[in-house]
Structure 1
Amino acid sequence: MRDLWVFGYGSLMWRPGFDFEESYIGTLEGYHRALCVYSHVYRGSPENPGLVMGLSEGGSCQGMVFRVDGSQREAVIDYLRAREQVTSVYLEEFVPVEIASVTVGGAPRKVEAVTYVADTTHGQYAGKLDLEEQVKIVLKSQGEAGPNIDYVLNTVDHLKEINIEDEALYELADALRLKAKP
């Protein structure tokens, strides 16, 4: 069975939850990372939803791409579906991801990777919220995986650690840190 590539742009980057053979920074064209999904389970509840990342159309997104041995392909897809599709707010898609650090004939290597795109027709799709609204929601919400602020700050810290720029997310993190100070 052929290997599986997985593209992560939120918590999958820093907590994939599956074994992989190798990982790289990858770029997905045509989508950008956005805090555009209301979380009813992991970082919020139906009564007090949090916000989590989704891929929205337009632009590009850098994240981590993981290669999973083919013998683990089905198990990892099952795991990802159980993790990402709890409320069916994401669409599972196979997308071309460019790995600039690995070249083939001098050009960056491209792989087909599974990822999860925000379903804009789903009731949990938040769309583009302004900074003030994002801060308000993130500061007050908590779910099964912990406080929403931890999710956002962990994602930002990981992005900085691997030198991925995300101006909007960095601005949100700065605002959260300022408001969360005792």
Structure 2
Amino acid sequence: MALQQDLWVFGYGSLMWNPGFPHVERRPALLEGCARRFALWSTEYRGTAERPGLVLTLEPTEGATCRGVAFRVAAGAVEETLAGLRARELVTGAYEEAWRPVRLLDEAGGAAEAVCYLARLGHPQHAGGLSLAEQAAIIARAQGRRGPNPDYLFSTLEALRAEGVRDEEMEDLGVRVAGLLEGGAS
């Protein structure tokens, strides 16, 4: 059975700059109760089994908020979009698909129920608890099928800045990784 209504997708990391699906609208959004963190081992996209990288997760965290973007997908493209997102985000089981309310932050305002992909905190790929220095060292040296891990970090920082979002921890991480790259991290 075909879905008969539009779909909203919340992006907080690579979906912000590389959604990979057609959308009819892109709006700044806020998700409450979750935090954006570099806390997922990447052994394919941004690292390898021998030298894993790190990618972002969305972790349920009381009192936290995460600024990102909400994409509206037309009803006719919902099934294909969800299939593509599931193939991209659920391939290793490290994320779970969830539907959460997001607040739309542009002049039109409003709210939407959006699909998002939350970290499975007990999954073997979850890398919670790493210090910023440890994260930077991992990111600076990793590379996978989709390219160098630092590119993922810097593209996400650029997307956040374009949305007017200043994430202090991500900014600090960017400075640390840039410093390691300038110093010849291996």
Using the size of structure 2 for normalisation, the TM-score is 0.93
CA contact under 8 A between 1:33 and 1:55: conserved in structure 2?
Answer: yes
- The structural deviation recorded for 1:41 is 1.0
Instruction: Give every structure 1 segment of 4 or more consecutive aligned residues whose post-TM-superposition deviation is greater than 4 Å.
Output: none
Equivalent residue for 2:157? 156
Q: Secondary structure at the match of 2:110?
A: strand
- The structural deviation recorded for 1:27 is 0.1
Alignment of 1:84-99 (within 5 A): 84-99=89-104
CA contact under 8 A between 2:35 and 2:59: conserved in structure 1?
Answer: yes
Equivalent residue for 2:33? 30
Equivalent residue for 1:5? 8
Higher normalized strand content (fraction of residues): 1
Equivalent residue for 1:139? 140
Total equivalences in the alignment: 178
d(CA) in 1 for partners of 2:50 and 2:60?
28
Equivalent residue for 2:19? 16
Q: 1:31-55: per-residue Cα shift (whole Å, max 9, x none)?
A: 0100010011100112211000001
* Superposition RMSD in Å: 1.0
d(CA) in 2 for partners of 1:102 and 1:20?
19
Structure 1: runs of 5+ lacking an equivalent: none
Equivalent residue for 1:101? 106
CA contact under 8 A between 1:44 and 1:143: conserved in structure 2?
Answer: yes
Structure 2: runs of 5+ lacking an equivalent: none
- The structural deviation recorded for 1:102 is 4.8
- The structural deviation recorded for 1:85 is 1.3
Alignment of 1:48-63 (within 5 A): 48-58=51-61, 59-63=64-68
d(CA) in 1 for partners of 2:85 and 2:179?
34
CA contact under 8 A between 1:7 and 1:66: conserved in structure 2?
Answer: yes
Q: Secondary structure at the match of 2:165?
A: coil
Equivalent residue for 1:75? 80
Percent identity, aligned pairs only, is 41
